[in-house]
Amino acid sequence: MNDRNTDTGIGAAVLRKEDRRFITGFGRYTDDINEVGQCHAVFLRSPYARADIGEIDVSAPLEMDGVIAILTGRDMAADGLGDLPCGWSVKSKDGSDMISAPHPPLASERVNYVGEPYGVVLAETRQAARDAAEAVATDFGELEAVVVLKTATSSEAIHEAVPQNRCYLWELGDEQATDAAFQNAAHVVTLELTNNRIIPNAIEPRAALATHNPASDEITLYTTSQNPHLARLILSAFVGLSPEHKLRLIAPDVGGGFGSKIFVYPEETTVAWAARRIARPVKWAADRSESFLTDAHGRDHLSRVELALDADGQFLGLRVRTTANLGAYLSLFAASVPTYLYGTLLAGQYRTPAIHVEVEGVYTNTVPVDAVRGAGRPEATYVVERIVEVAARQLGIDPVELRRRNMIQPDQFPYQTPVALVYDTGNYQASLDRALDAIDYGGFPARRAASEAAGKKRGLGFACYIEACGLAPSQLAISLGAGVGLYESGEVRVNPTGSVTVFTGSHSHGQGHETTFAQIVSDRLGVPFDDVEVVHGDTGRVEFGLGTYGSRSVAVGGSALVVAADKVIAKGKLIAAHMLKADPAAIDFESGEFSVRDSNQSLSFGEVAFAAYVPADYPEDLEPGLSEKAFYDPENFTFPAGTHIAEVEIDPQTGVTEVVAFVAVDDFGEVINPMIVEGQVHGGIAQGIGQALLEHGVYDDQGQLITGSYMDYCMPRADDLPDFDVDTTITPCTHNPLGVKGCGEAGAIGSPAAVMNAITDALGTEEITMPATSEKVWRICRGD
Amino acid sequence: MSGIHVSTTINGDPVEFVCQPGETLLDVLRDRLRLTGSKDGCGTGDCGACSVTVDGRLVCSCLVLGAEAEGREVTTIEGLADGENLHPLQSKFIEHAALQCGICTPGFLVAAKALLDRNSNPTEEEIRFALAGNLCRCTGYDKIVRAVSAAATEVRKQEGRKQRRSF
Amino acid sequence: MRYAAPTTTREAAALIAKAKGRAFVLAGGTDLLVRMKIGTIEPELVVDIKRIPATQSITKSATGFRIGAGVPTAAMGENNALKKAWPGVVEAANLIGSDQIQNRCTIVGNLCNASPAADSVPALIAAGAKAAIVGPRGRRTVAVDKIVTGPGTTSLKKGEFIEAITLPRPPPRSGDAYLRFIPRTEMDIAVVGAGVSLTLGPNGVVKKARVTLGAVAPTVVLVPAAARAITGTRLEDVALAKLAAACEAACNPIDDMRGTIEYRTEVAGVLARRAAKIAYQRAGGN
């Protein structure tokens, strides 16, 4: 503990720089910011899941006190604003393009989910705007809604252009080889799985504050974004709000994202448009019910899974058929989540030689479904790790043993899977072994017996997951349908006095970039940790960026900073060589010192920085200044992996299920700040346990969200969760300069499968879906 | 609509404000007094991000009317530190990395302070129950519970020192 | 909307009686402000009764306890005499929501909100609690089980409000208990609640009992058949089985997301048995 503050380099558990402002109440989130003359926006939202918008009568509310304007989707369309795009294009197995339904920021003719905005009221106070919104009289022609995923393709088409509500029917893998594997199988294990719909629930609701400067014609938009540059690009290039150089997006402190703040939403877009239109700063902050209704939801898959095994329990083939709910429109990443971020992960940690997956992406009259922490990978892990556990039970093989027999061996890397990916490195046995020790696997039968003696049931469940992070490389991603590159930008700006300002295109909303990235740069440049400041989240200060999602920040954004820092060192060497009258090739740089090899001559980093900006004695052929940029485009994904084990105890009289122990051993490659990494894992596990036991986004058959508040949507609280026992093993990533892989999603990826495997182990049946509520568990205990 | 004039004490300082009858204490703190440390996470008393104490009792400021603050003593997150000196809870939250995005943190700190004020030696279970009114989506609560436990130890030490001095 | 904070009961009653539109009493506000926020009510007048001294205290007398309408349930948990006399009532009151909620919410509010799932109400009815009502025509006292008439409705007349709840002094060898079941451990609405209050004879046999159930019918139900099932017994297994059966028979719950009819019904029996055992132990039975 004591050496924490003295050692601030890579690998040190440095205390977070950003925390002081948060613990004193001086964090600055979007809703904490106010502009002089601001007015408040409240949205007009559809009360129906599907309806034609008729006449919108705003005459009475326009007369109300404090009301400035009421704008509708028709006004927006008249202004020529474009649709919100989906950033990935996916092809169906027959080669046709996916069918993307037009998604205007404000609906003008038809609404397609409850809560969809079709107008906005602007007023002096939020209360006045609310009152006026209630007074707007809109004629809706209600239409039959398509709500049930299972029958959506046989229901009436929601969008004219999308027959059978099918956006795409995508496939990956070798269908013939997989069929052949099943023909030769000694055992075939089949499982129907539901991956329940979840609602992200960042504790900070989305918010936006826009100002238009008539002198410069620049719009400044403060907003709760994980990726302000990407949002600016979309608002400019696709929506046509404003040219990119006249649009500044600032994502200040952001109170959690978990994927939900990646996307460009109608409200933020509308606020920016309205600010220019009414020539007033406009502020909007969602209330919690709006968050439930309109933040993109996650998961919502139905799958049929089949695993073929030989007589020895070797996996021969895996066949997966999944129906994925996309909601009413394609959100920004929606098309990729159940396809490239899902199907490619179905090899898991195993040598399954033949895999074929088919995914049907389907529209329904529900809020769009998009990436939520893990995004496709928790769904893939759930499929693989549930069927493996069931196979072990059906074949009477210890679940650990069955996994060991099929795991990719450490000497088999790089490993080409049958579903497109090449795993660069890993040691799955190492994390499994460590996790078994931590849970005391050998002691489980005694613990189970003790529970049974007390009238309880006990179960143990595993998940050996694989994850693909740091989405990359750009050329591959674009060839697969990505609309943008997947690099990251970084800038290391050395100030004349030797302190360093670091600019990253990655954004921090809890991940601790201000600390982790300062550690990386301080370590590389030998500059004191406290002399490094990290700037992020402002398109006016940071050149470009793709933002934070998919556990990519350190692997891609951190690597960009290493490259930029190395450029700074290279330039510093030229300056130092000149000052020391030495050959640049003879200059070494270490721990913040430029020195001439085999001599006692040296210059400090600060001296060189000063010379760069006060070039009294300076090389003739070198530009002054010491500031370097890099765009880092990775060679491959990174592949974190690990083993999660859950142990549960059940009270059969009430069905109450307690997670009594949870072990996670993850391989994230090199770790920059173990304390931050541990926290990331904890948070992910909590979300995964929440999904497995408590959380469920439910629409009724009319398309009304019936889990639209914290009383109806069960979030895990402090007394619902155990202590977590987390540890890491390390196989460094082979293709980035830090050897890092990413850690943000692993917890949420492994834990649902581990918990459900534990519950089904305790209950002795597979017939239970997430969330495993007390009543569902009770019914099974009663023998229903 | 005529406003209501309210005289109250916030973080030890006398404060006067005028608010509308239906305005919550949270709205008054954030929008009128610009004390934005208390956060608006749900408006229905379920998330605890707006936690403050009123006359020493922990409450959700979204479920208190501004007018009710008349003559009361309100303490917010901005009043937790003593000038530059952090409260042990604040120090331990940093040392244990008990926060990530920070949005729920003020509420947790205020709630944890209320717990330690009535019980400076809580068990882990007592901490988990006392903080069950606060939602955190980032940390999984583990590090928060550890930080509160460590702060309790620190608070007891400080109390011990104070008592020894008074003998 | 207007806000008033009168300092006497009489003043409060007059304000409510004279209100032009809908008037609401504000005590803890944990239900009222939520309903205002989500727009289910739009009060013309809110009368904050916490400046009235009579609503602010718990007093103990020869006949029992008087709990003012403005006393937060957390304060009930801090009152040792009350906890000792009526541990089940205090437990029930301290199951309502989080610490933040318990520092504001009141048992009168819990009662007048008239939710079938209100946690404190089964325990209050089992304990034989009464409500002291004030109104434009003066005062009256009514048994708590006569207050709620259906989900969201009460027998209070226009202008009336409850100033305090009174609990009798428990006879010797008495005990009470309340258990509830929710889909999680904290912070949700009960799917079943069971309250039991009983008094033993000198031989350890149950002399008198009251059994109540919450969240299994439109209002909290008093189940005399369940009380009869254990009266004259020492809670032998046969008696407990009859108690559970009587409770299940008294259930008329709804089917919803939180719990189906079957689940609520069966768990009601389980909880009543468990609560009866706790109450029996508290009364000194073995």
The torsion of the CA quartet A391, A394, A396, A401, rounded to 10 degrees, works out to 10
Contact B93 A724 (CB under 8 A): no
- Sign of the CA dihedral running C256, C258, C262, C265: negative
SS percent in chain B: helix, strand, coil, step 5: 45, 15, 40
Let me know if residue C33 belongs to a domain: yes
Domain of C182, CATH number, reads: 3.30.390.50
Q: Is B132 on the interface with A (CB under 8 A)?
A: yes
Report yes or no on C136 lying in a domain: no
Residue C268: which domain range? 175-282
- Cβ contact C183–A779 (<8 Å): no
Asked if pLDDT for residue A204 goes beyond 50, the answer is yes
Q: Do A348 and A378 form a contact (C-beta atoms < 8 A)?
A: no
pLDDT in tens, B75-95: 999 999 999 999 999 999 999
pLDDT digits 0-9 by tens, C58-67: 999 999 999 9
| pLDDT (tens digit per residue) in A721-773 | 999 999 999 999 999 999 999 999 999 999 999 999 999 999 999 999 999 99
For residues A602-617, give the mean pLDDT.
96
Residue C157 inside a domain? The answer is: no
Q: Is the pLDDT of residue A8 over 50?
A: yes
Question: Which residues on C lie below 8 Å from B133 (Cβ)?
Answer: 97-101, 187
Position A423, amino acid: Y
- For the stretch C78-132, pLDDT in tens is 999 999 999 999 999 999 999 999 999 999 999 999 999 999 999 999 999 999 9
What gap in Å lies between CA A544 and CA A373, rounded to an integer?
24
Q: Identify the CATH number of the domain in which residue C29 sits.
A: 3.30.43
Query: What pLDDT, on the 0 to 100 scale, is given for residue C260?
Result: 86
The predicted structure's pLDDT at residue A765: 95
Q: Which residues of C261-286 are buried (b: 16+ CB within 10 A; e: fewer)?
A: ebbbbbbbbbbbbbbbebbbebbebe
Is the pLDDT at A4 greater than 50, yes or no?
no
Residue A160 — φ and ψ, nearest 5°? -50, -40
Whether pTM exceeds 0.95? yes
Q: Three-state SS for A588?
A: strand
With respect to residue C133, please indicate whether it lies within any of the assigned structural domains.
no
pLDDT at C35 over 80: yes
Choose among C5, C26, C33: nearest Cβ to B24. C33
Tens of pLDDT, residues A641-673: 999 999 999 999 889 999 999 999 999 999 999
Q: What is the pLDDT of residue B160?
A: 87
Within 8 A by CB and 6+ apart from A446, the residues are: none
Q: Are the Cβ atoms of A720 and C270 closer than 8 angstroms?
A: no
Q: Which of C38, C39, C270 sits opposite A654 (nearest CB)?
A: C270
What is the pLDDT, as a whole number, of residue A524?
A: 96
Query: What mean pLDDT comes out for the span A289-302?
Result: 98
pLDDT value for C53: 95
Closest partner CB to A653 (pick from C188, C189, C270): C270
In this predicted structure, the answer to whether residue B166 has a pLDDT above a threshold of 80 is: no
Q: Which residue of A has its CA nearest to C186?
A: A719
Q: Comparing C-alpha atoms, which of C1, A692, A129, A728 is closest to residue B4? A: C1
Do A315-472+636-782 and A487-632 agree at the fold level?
Answer: yes
Does C75 reside within a domain? no
Where are the domains positioned within chain A?
A: 33-143+204-255+261-293, 315-472+636-782, 487-632
Q: Answer whether C46 touches B (CB < 8 Å).
A: yes
Provide CATH code, domain A315-472+636-782.
3.30.365.10
Q: Tell me: the pLDDT tens digits for A34-57? A: 999 999 999 999 999 999 999 999
Based on the structure, what is the number of domains in chain C? 2
Please list every residue in chain B whose beta carbon sits closer than 8 Å to the beta carbon of residue C33: 24, 45, 62-65
The DSSP secondary structure of chain C, one letter per residue, reads: -EEE--SSHHHHHHHHHH-SS-EEEESS-TTHHHHHHHTS---SEEEEGGGSGGGS-EEEETTEEEEETT--HHHHHT-HHHHHH-HHHHHHHTTSS-HHHHTT--HHHHHHTT-TT-SHHHHHHHTT-EEEEEETTEEEEEEGGGTEEETTEESPPTT-EEEEEEEEPPPSSEEEEEEEE-SSSSSS--SEEEEEEEEE-TTS-EEEEEEEEESSSSS-EE-HHHHHHHTTS---HHHHHHHHHHHHHH-----BTTB-HHHHHHHHHHHHHHHHHHHHHHTT--
Interface touch C184/A775, C-beta < 8 Å = no
C71 assigned to some structural domain? no
pLDDT given at position A7: 85
Residue A545: which of A611, A486, A610 has the closest Cα? A486
Q: What is the pLDDT of residues C185-225, one digit of tens each?
A: 445 677 899 999 999 999 999 999 999 999 999 999 999 99
Q: Does B78 touch chain A (CB under 8 A)?
A: yes
What pLDDT, on the 0 to 100 scale, is given for residue B1?
54
**Is residue C238 in some structural domain?**
yes
CB A444 within 8 A of CB A460: yes
pLDDT of residue A74: 97
Taking alpha carbons only, the member of A420, A309, A419 closest to residue A355 is A419
Chains that touch C (3 or more CB pairs under 8 A): A, B
Which residue from A712, A717, A774 is facing C257, i.e. has the nearest CB?
Answer: A712
pLDDT (tens digit per residue) in A140-180: 999 999 999 999 999 999 999 999 999 999 999 999 999 99
Q: Which range is least confidently modeled, A619-628, B110-119, B124-133, C253-262?
A: C253-262
Say if the Cβ atoms of B64 and C101 lie within 8 Å. Answer: no
Q: Who has greater pLDDT, A549 or A407?
A: A407
Q: Tens digit of pLDDT for each residue in A450-506?
A: 999 999 999 999 999 999 998 878 888 888 888 888 899 999 999 999 999 999 999
User: Which of chain C's residues have a Cβ under 8 Å away from the Cβ of A714?
Assistant: 183-184, 188
* Structure confidence at residue A650 (pLDDT): 97
| Confidence band of A5 (pLDDT split at 50, 70, 90) | very low
Predicted confidence at residue B167, as pLDDT, reads: 61
Give pLDDT tens digits for C152-172. Answer: 999 999 889 999 999 999 999
Q: Which domains does chain B have, with CATH numbers?
A: 4-79 (3.10.20.30), 88-166 (1.10.150.120)
**How much is the pLDDT for A2?**
34
What is the CATH code for A487-632? 3.30.365.10
Question: Does domain A33-143+204-255+261-293 bear CATH number 3.90.1170.50?
Answer: yes
A700–C contact, CB cutoff 8 A: no
User: Does residue C164 belong to any structural domain of this protein?
Assistant: no
ipTM above 0.95, yes or no: yes
